[in-house]
Amino acid sequence: MSDVQRPSVVTLLAILAIITGVFSIIRGGLLMFQGINQLIDGVGGVFVLIIGILSLAVGVLALVSGIKVMWDKTGGIALMQKYAVALLAYNVIWVIYSSVAGGKIGWMILLSELAIGIITLGLIKTSEDIKAYLESLVQQ
């Protein structure tokens, strides 16, 4: 164990990453199922399948980063940064796809996921507690 205890903000970010990861995995699975059904019915579905795969990938990244941070594993915070960037990119892709396809955009989910990504990145980049915690993990 490190001399510096894990800051509570890191624990909260990890829990948020795990929750976001589970949600994204479920959403990705449902979108993939919908895309496969559309492909079978011959009414498209390729883009829905791709969006589902992206959501699944973001979810797995979020879940793994949250678990690594909770277990105080080296690289968990860096992986959490990557998940936050991937979450932001996924939501931009989702808005573009939904706008082009004429679909509905769940603005509450979109705005909350954008907030999660921005806040996660912002805290990791600016928090002195997180920087001290990262240094203590490297010294192990």
Say what the pTM is.
0.88
What letter would DSSP give residue 127? -
Contact 29, 59 (CB under 8 A): no
pLDDT tens per residue, range 62-85? 999 999 999 988 888 999 999 999
71 by DSSP, 3-state: which? coil
Q: Cα(first)–Cα(last) distance of the chain, in Å?
A: 8
Per domain, the residue ranges of the chain are 8-138
Q: How many CB atoms lie within 10 A of CB 68?
A: 19
pLDDT tens per residue, range 76-120? 899 999 999 999 999 999 999 889 988 888 899 999 999 999 999
